[in-house]
Amino acid sequence: MAIIVHKYGGTSMGSVERITNVAKRVAKWARAGYKIVVVPSAMSGETNRLLGLANQINSNPDPRDLDMIASTGEQVSVGLLTLAIKAQGIDAIGYSGWQVPIKTDDAYTKARIESIDSERILDDLNNGKVVVITGFQGVDDKQNITTLGRGGSDTSAVAVAAAVNADECLIYTDVDGVYTTDPRVVDSAKRLDSITFEEMLEMASLGSKVLQIRSVEFAGKYKVKTRVLSSLTDPLMPLEEEMNSGTLITFEEKNNMEKAVISGIAFQRDEAKITLKSVNDTPGIAARILKPIAEHKIDVDMIIQNQSFDNKTDFTFTVPRHDLTKALAVIEEHVKPLVGVVEVTSNSKVSKVSVVGVGMRSHVGLASLMFETLAEENINIQLISTSEIKISVLIDEKYMEVAVRSLHKAFELDKN
Ligand code: ASP
Ligand code: MG
């Protein structure tokens, strides 16, 4: 019988009552004959609470200690859920990441999964047990507990699904799928029945919080059939119906004339822009500016170098807003000695808005529709970047919601 991995987020695990509902749902699948592996997150708010405690003791804590602390949230969830599944009359066994083991590198608080030993899991499944495994964590070569970064349970689930060669990975969450944009910003946002893996990757990296981006990368790399669906429905709803609900991440572009050219509008509120004015336009200048930034683990997103004038050019890039102060300090200390004294300006009140769709490959005129729409709203575009399947603009943060709403309408995403 097919192996199915279920992942439940913090909200779904938020109380004893909700955990009981998860157990009922899992028991329903197990009774139907499926081999089930469950990967729960910590109960909602728990990871924040644990990290908060750590911070009260030391505002600059050792990341190894942080992982020791934060990993316990999921361990509690696994214990409680295992008990709850057994209470439904189904045999179950719980494991922490290190017991499986889920091997990671040693980058505390943002470790990457390197391998998963599927032997124990498969044995238990073959013996009729539901296997419950902690999300968000693993163990490095030296037996240190590591965590995978916030939202990492999604990645654990998809990685486990790949390791046991599961037929499907179901990500149960507090929304009922992936939407054309955030329904809190646009009430006419529509749930998508399916989205291609590439679009999902863009949506996740462009700020859609539905899935941790690394989980999408994993799904793509190992071709894990992944579905995002609601955990807040009746746990005893018919299996057939549940199996077809939510949003399926697909690997092929359907040759479907009906499919919209654009799948969604993504946005990132908290961006910041940095400009180095009149730097010398010589080979190596971009590397000299961006290498120290990268070495300080700051993610650079959009990068624009202007046409040069008298061998001088303006060099602009964006970073996450919470990294702006750090980035400016790195420029002072490490970039200026390499590029000479330049004027540096920054703006911490910018947001990025993107339209995403694989249909861009075969359609023209989408960029102009986007720019015209923004122009009609009198929104100034500060930076533009594109890929094969997305166009992003950087704008003043105060126009972000207007931009998202008007683009959603212009691209007819509010129509079925
Ligand atoms: N509990 C972790 C977090 O809050 C991991 C997860 O929920 O995916 O980030
Ligand atoms: Mg999550």
Tens digits of per-residue pLDDT, 81-94? 999 999 999 999 99
Q: Rounded CA gap, 50 and 150, in Å? A: 13
What pLDDT digit, counting tens, does each position of 143-182 carry? 999 999 999 999 999 999 999 999 999 999 988 999 999 9
Q: Minimum-distance ligand to the CA of 174? A: 2
Residue 36 confidence (pLDDT): 98
Residue 200 CA to ligand 2 center (angstroms) comes to 15
Alpha-carbon distance 92 to 130, whole Å?
A: 4
Residues 6+ apart with CB under 8 A from 238: none
Interatomic CA distance for residues 371 and 391, integer angstroms: 10
Handedness of CA 275, 269, 171, 254 (dihedral sign): negative
Is 152 near ligand 1, meaning CB less than 6 Å away? yes
Class of domain 264-410: alpha beta
206 compared with 331, residue with greater pLDDT: 331
Residue 20 near residue 82 (C-beta atoms within 8 A): no
Kindly report, residue by residue over 89-142, the tens digit of the pLDDT. 999 999 999 999 999 999 999 999 999 999 999 999 999 999 999 999 999 999
CA distances in angstroms from 2 to 26, 35, 137, 161, listed in the order given: 14, 6, 26, 12
Given ligand 1 and candidates 7, 146, 150, which is best to mutate, with the most ligand atoms within 8 Å of its CB? 150
C-beta of residue 100 within 8 angstroms of C-beta of residue 74:
no
Closest of 7, 77, 80 to residue 42, by C-alpha: 77
Res 206 pLDDT > 80:
no
Q: Is 73 in the pocket of ligand 1 (CB under 6 A)?
A: yes
Of 202, 196, 184, the closest CA to residue 354 belongs to 202
- pTM for the whole structure: 0.87
Distance from Cα 134 to the centre of ligand 1, integer Å: 10
134 lines ligand 1 (CB under 6 A): no
Ligand 1: does its nearest atom lie under 6 Å from the Cβ of 10?
A: yes
The number of the ligand 1 atom at minimal distance from the alpha carbon of 149 is: 9
Tokens describing residue 29: 């699948």
| CB distance 151 to ligand 1 below 6 Å | yes
Burial of 288 (0-12, 13-18, 19+ CB in 10 A): middle
Q: Where are the domains of the chain?
A: 3-250, 264-410
Enter the tokens of residue 51: 């990290």
State in Å: Cα 150 to ligand 1 middle: 5
- The yes/no answer on whether domain 3-250 falls in CATH 1.10.640.10 is no
Ligand 1 centroid to Cα of residue 156, in Å, is 11
For 363, residues 6+ apart whose C-beta sits below 8 A from its C-beta are 261
Instruction: Look at residue 339 and tell me whether its pLDDT is greater than 60.
Output: yes
Instruction: Quote the tokens at residue 397.
Output: 């943060």
Element (H, E) at 366: helix 366-376
- Segment (H or E) for 350: strand 343-356
Tens digit of each residue's pLDDT (9 = 90 or more) over 274-331: 999 999 888 899 999 999 999 998 999 999 988 888 888 999 999 999 999 999 999 9
Task: Assess whether the C-beta atom of 8 lies below 6 angstroms from ligand 1.
Answer: no
CA–CA distance, 90 with 88 (Å, rounded to integer): 6
